[in-house]
């Protein structure tokens, strides 16, 4: 069954069962696997059940951290997703949320996390390449407003967030990289992209300077990113970020300008 067919079936079932709709991400998100050549990428997807005919809605792509890698296709929903999902439900924001799961032993970006800097690899990692292909498949198959495509990620997924916007800056309307790092040489590409970055000042896993350096590099390239640094906070800077309604409201109000003819 194609993704488009699954979408229509999901909408029909959701409408019929609307009084019983689950509120927990692990129950509300469909379970799928995307095949990218010989590489299989597990992912979970939430599609609002009450869409109007012809309605186009935002899409959020979420990259999890290193601790959520595996093949169970559920662990990637443990952090950040509960806060994001709760926000869209509470505020009746129709949004598609896509959460791929990186296999064990692999990374969204094939670089060390503890270093002071890195150069963006010429090619994306296998999981990242598959995630990029999955995103394009969703854009073709689902009712996505292509002016409201968002990406966010935590820790290893923060690296993934920086990586994908550096490779495809024109795709996204906004990015929320949390305690990650990118290639400062690629930062000028991001001058038009709304970015809000978060990091704890006591992070011993991913150096706080990784976010500081990226923010300064984007500014030097002509951009105007936002940066929040949490005093006294270690590596977990995502819990309060995705529990903050102001942050998520900011995300969903961002809209990409129409492409110039």
DSSP string across 179-247: S----GGGGGGGTTS-BEEEEETT-SSS-HHHHHHHHHHHHHTT---EEEEETT--S--HHHHTT-HHH
Q: Model confidence over 151-186: pLDDT tens digits?
A: 999 999 999 999 999 999 999 999 999 999 999 999
Residue 80 predicted with pLDDT over 70: yes
pLDDT band at 201 (very low <50, low <70, confident <90, very high): very high
Residue 155 confidence (pLDDT): 98
Q: What is the dihedral of CA 85, 87, 88, 89, to 10 degrees?
A: 80
Q: Once rounded to an integer, what is the mean pLDDT over residues 197-213? A: 98
Q: Model confidence over 90-119: pLDDT tens digits?
A: 999 999 999 999 999 999 999 999 999 999
Residue 18 confidence (pLDDT): 42
Residue 52 confidence (pLDDT): 86
Q: Model confidence over 123-139: pLDDT tens digits?
A: 999 999 999 999 999 99
Q: Once rounded to an integer, what is the mean pLDDT over residues 73-88? A: 97
Distance of CA 171 to the CA centre of its chain: 13
Residue 261 predicted with pLDDT over 90: no
- CA 140 – CA 121 distance, rounded (Å): 27
Q: Six-digit token pair at 118?
A: 């890195």
Residue 260 confidence (pLDDT): 46
Residue 29 predicted with pLDDT over 70: yes
Residue 23 confidence (pLDDT): 73
pLDDT band at 5 (very low <50, low <70, confident <90, very high): low
Residue 41 confidence (pLDDT): 98
What percentage of the chain exceeds 90 in pLDDT? 87
Residue 259 confidence (pLDDT): 65
Residue 20 confidence (pLDDT): 42
- CA 205 – CA 136 distance, rounded (Å): 32
Residue 17 predicted with pLDDT over 50: no
Residue 95 confidence (pLDDT): 97
What percentage of the chain exceeds 70 in pLDDT? 90
């Amino acid at each position: 069954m194609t993704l488009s067919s699954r979408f229509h079936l999901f909408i029909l079932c959701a409408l019929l069962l609307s009084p019983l709709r689950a509120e927990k991400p692990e129950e509300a998100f469909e379970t799928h696997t995307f095949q990218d050549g010989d590489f299989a990428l597990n992912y979970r997807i939430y599609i609002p059940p009450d869409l109007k005919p012809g309605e186009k809605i935002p899409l959020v792509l979420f990259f999890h951290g290193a601790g959520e890698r595996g093949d169970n296709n559920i662990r990637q929903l443990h952090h950040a997703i509960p806060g994001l999902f709760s926000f869209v439900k509470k505020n009746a924001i129709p949004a598609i949320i896509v959460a791929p799961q990186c296999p064990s032993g692999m990374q969204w970006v094939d670089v060390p996390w503890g270093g002071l800097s890195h150069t963006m690899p010429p090619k994306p990692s296998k999981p990242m390449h598959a995630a990029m292909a999955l995103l394009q498949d969703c854009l073709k198959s689902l009712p996505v407003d292509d002016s409201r495509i968002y990406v966010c990620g935590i820790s290893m997924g923060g690296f993934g967030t920086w990586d994908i916007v550096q490779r495809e800056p024109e795709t996204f309307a906004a990015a929320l990289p949390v305690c990650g790092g990118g290639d400062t040489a690629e930062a000028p590409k991001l001058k038009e992209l709304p970015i809000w970055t978060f990091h704890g000042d006591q992070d011993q896993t991913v150096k706080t300077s990784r976010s500081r350096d990226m923010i300064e590099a984007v500014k030097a390239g002509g951009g105007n990113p936002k940066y929040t640094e949490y005093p006294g906070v270690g590596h977990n800077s995502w819990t309060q970020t995705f529990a903050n309604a102001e942050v998520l409201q900011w995300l969903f109000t961002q809209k990409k300008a129409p492409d110039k003819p």
